Amino acid sequence: MRLRGQSLGVKNLIGARVEFARKNLNMKQKELLAQLQVRGVDLTASALSKLEGQLRYATDIELLALSDILNVSVMWLLTGEESE
């Protein structure tokens, strides 16, 4: 597993949690990209890497798809907490 070469950016709130949830499922980026494509979200490997690194903005469509694929709530992706 490669370590991130640069510090996290500030362009989204979800990137670090997407990476955490993906790794928690033992899912490679390539597998996540395939699942996103099935849902009509076409990202490149570079775009996903930048999203996880918080170096690009995330769209609402990406947010919903990632929540579904990673089996986490949108609220958790945004805040790190579950809504009650």
Q: Residue 5: CB partners within 8 Å, gap ≥ 6?
A: none
Q: What is the mean pLDDT of residues 58-71?
A: 98
**CA dihedral in degrees (66, 36, 11, 79; nearest 10)?**
0
Q: What is the mean pLDDT of residues 15-34?
A: 97
Please write the tens of the pLDDT for every residue from 27-63.
999 999 999 999 999 999 999 999 999 999 999 999 9
Q: Residue 66 has what pLDDT?
A: 98
Place of tokens 């579950």: 82
How far apart are the C-alpha atoms of 76 and 43, rounded to whole Å? 22
Fold of 15-79: 434 Repressor (Amino-terminal Domain) (1.10.260)
